[in-house]
Chain A
Amino acid sequence: MTAPGAPRSTTGGSAGSGARLLVLAVALTLAALYLLRSPGDEASGASIAPASPTRLVVPALDLRSAVVPIEVDTAGVLYPPDDVDLVGWWKRSAEAGSRHGQTVLTGHTVSTGGGVMDRLGELEPGDRIRVRTSEGVVRYRATSTDVLSRAELSAASRELFGQKRDPRLVLITCTDWDGHQYESNIVVLADPV
C-alpha cells in the first residue's frame, strides 16, 4: 500500500506517464483526423449546393446504401430500383441541399428479409439521417414515422411528394405483407439539420 500523498514509485510513475502520452497521442490523432476530414463531410444542407443524392446512411438502422435516380411510370407508380440493396431517388423531387421541396427516397422491403429498408419502421423521431451528394453531405433528423394504407398514401400524395414547401426528406417503403401483397407503406419524414 502506498500512503495517500506518498510519491509514486518510479516504475509506477513511468507507467502513468506512458498512459498519458498514449492518451495525448490518440487525442492528437483524432484532432488531426478531424482537421483533415473532407469538406463534404462538414457541409450541411444549408451550406452546400443542391445535387442528386448518391448515398443514404441511417446509422440507427445500420442502413448504408447507394442511391440512384428513378421515375414514376405513366400510372403514377414509383418503383424502387430492382436491386433490393439500392435506394431510389425520384428524380423530379428536390435535390438534396435544395432550399425548397421534398427529397423523396424509396427502397425495397423484402417479405423474407434482405431489403434495404426492411427496418425503416424502427426509425424514431430524432434519429439522424445523412444523404451524400457530389457536393457534400446533407444531414437530417427524423421527425415522424407513419404507416399509411395505399389509399391514404394516394390521398396524401400532394403532401408527401409536392415540391412547393420547405425542404424535407421523405423515406418510403412497403409494409403489411399479407402473404400476397403489401397493404401499406411506411413513411418517414425528416427535416434538414
Chain B
Amino acid sequence: MRRATPLVGRGFGLRLGAVTAAVTLSGLALAPALAAPLAQADATAVSGSLGGSPTDSGTVAAVDAGDGEQVTGTTNPQVGVLGNQQLLNVGVLAQEATARVTDGSGASAACAGIAGNGGSVAQVGSSRCLTPGQPVGLSVANLDLTGTVLFDPATALAPLNGLQPVMDQVAGPLTNAVSQGLAPLGETGLAGTLGAVEARCTATPGTADGSAHLVDSRLSLSLGGREVEVVNLPVDPAPNTDVLVNLDGVVDTVLAGLREDLTTTLDGQLAPLSAVIDPVQQQIVDAVVAQVAPQLAPLSDNVLKLVLNKQTRTADSIEVTALSLEVLPAARELADAPLATAEIGRVRCGPAGVVETVEAPTTVKNARPQPKLPKRPTVVASGVAGPQQPWYDGLVAPAALLALAATSGAVGYRRLTAR
C-alpha cells in the first residue's frame, strides 16, 4: 500500500502533463493564424517625383492572416489626389488588391494603373483590371532651354554649353543674336499619350507571377513646336523591357532648328552683304553645326530611361511596375537638378502561406508515454509444468512385469506338475 500511493501520484502527474501538452499543442495549432500574414498584396496606380516634389495616388493594401481579409487605402482614387501636377491631364486611376485564405491556403492578387478618359475599372483578379478609354495626355517633363548660359554644367545637358565658345570663336559679335536665335528651341517637352497602362500580379504558396499591359501608348518630344515621336510602347512587354528611345531624331531636330535659326539670324544681320558673304555664312553655319552635333550625342544616353514591365521577384513574391520612367537620370544625385521620375501601375503580391496544421492529440490516451521497462530482470520464469499425468502413470510398467512374471510362473508350475 505504501508503494501504491506514489505510483498513483506519478500516473496522475503523467496524465496532467499530457493534458497540459495537449492544450499547449492545440494553442500552437491556432497560433499561426495570429502571426505572419498568409496572403498579402498592395497596389499603387501612380507615383513619382516631379521637380523634387514626390506625389502619388496612395496605396491600397490587403492582408489576410487567417482571420479574414483586411484592406487599407483607397481603391480607386481620383486624379486630383496627385495634386498640382502636369504629369497627367485627366483619366482614371485604378489600384486594387485582395488577399484571402481559402481552405488553409493563402492567395493574393493586385492590379494598378491608369486609363484614359472613358476608361473604367474592372474586377481585380480578372484578366484585365482596366478598360481603356481615350488616350490620356502624359506630360512628363519640360526642359528650359532658354538663356545664354543654357544648362547647368552638372546636368546631362551640359554638352549644349559647348555652343557658347563656338559662337564666340566663329561668329564673334554675332553671339547675342545667335543666342537669341536659339530661343525657339527653348521649350522642350517630353510628352505622350496613354490609352491604358496596368500591372497585375498574383501569388499563392510558393509561387508568384505578374505582367504588364499597355494600350495605345507612346512618348514624344516637342522641340520648338515640332513634335518628334520618341517611341511607340509595346502592348505586352516582356519583363524588364528597356525601351530604346530613338533620340537620333531628337538630335536631328535640334540641329535642324539650330541651322535654320542661325541662317535666319545671319540673314538679318548680314543682309546688305548677302551676295558677298553667302558662302561665308554657309561656312559659319556648317562649322557651328559640326561643332555642336557631337556634343549632343550624350543626350541619347542621359535624357531618358524607360523600363516597361519592371519586375523584382523572390521565390514566392513579386513586384511589377508597368511603366517606370526617369528623365535626366544622370542628374539623379543632384537635388536641385531637373529630374522627373514616374511609376505607373506598381503592384506587389506575396509571399503567401498555408495554415500550419499541428496535429493536436486527439485523446489524452495517445499522449501517454509508453510504460518504461525495468532496467534488468528480477525474475526468470523458465519452468513449465508438464502435461497432467494419470494416477496410474508410472505403475503400468511394474504391473505389467509383475503380471508377466506371474503368468510365466504359473505356466512353468503347470508343466512341472504335469510331468
What residues of B have a CB within 8 angstroms of the CB of A173 in the complex? 380, 382-383
What residues of A have a CB within 8 angstroms of the CB of B385 in the complex? 110-112, 177, 180
Within 8 Å of chain A (Cβ to Cβ): is B173?
no
Q: A71 vs B376: C-alpha distance in the bound complex, in angstroms? A: 10
Mark interface residues in A175-187 (1 if CB within 8 Å of B CB, else 0). Answer: 1010011100100
**Cβ-closest chain B residue relative to A73:** B373
B384 touches A115 (CB 8 A): yes
What residues of A have a CB within 8 angstroms of the CB of B315 in the complex? none
Within 8 Å of chain A (Cβ to Cβ): is B279?
no
5 contacts between A and B (CB under 8 A): A72-B373, A74-B373, A115-B384, A157-B378, A175-B383
What residues of A have a CB within 8 angstroms of the CB of B372 in the complex? 74
What residues of B have a CB within 8 angstroms of the CB of A162 in the complex? 376
Within 8 Å of chain B (Cβ to Cβ): is A40?
no
A161 touches B383 (CB 8 A): no
**8 A-B pairs with the lowest CB-CB distances in the bound complex, closest first:** A112-B386, A174-B383, A182-B383, A78-B377, A161-B376, A76-B374, A76-B378, A111-B386
Within 8 Å of chain B (Cβ to Cβ): is A61?
no
Within 8 Å of chain B (Cβ to Cβ): is A80?
yes
**Cβ-closest chain B residue relative to A112:** B386
New contact pairs (15) apart from A75-B379, A76-B377, CB-CB < 8 Å: A74-B372, A78-B380, A107-B382, A108-B383, A111-B383, A112-B385, A115-B384, A157-B376, A157-B377, A157-B378, A173-B382, A174-B380, A177-B385, A181-B383, A182-B383
What residues of A have a CB within 8 angstroms of the CB of B376 in the complex? 72, 76, 92, 157-158, 161-162
Interface residues of B (CB under 8 A from A): 371-374, 376-387, 389
B387 touches A112 (CB 8 A): yes
**Cβ-closest chain A residue relative to B387:** A112
B381 touches A77 (CB 8 A): yes
What residues of A have a CB within 8 angstroms of the CB of B377 in the complex? 72, 76-78, 90, 104, 157, 161
Mark interface residues in A132-159 (1 if CB within 8 Å of B CB, else 0). Answer: 0000000000000000001001100110
Mark interface residues in A75-104 (1 if CB within 8 Å of B CB, else 0). Answer: 111111000100000101000000000001
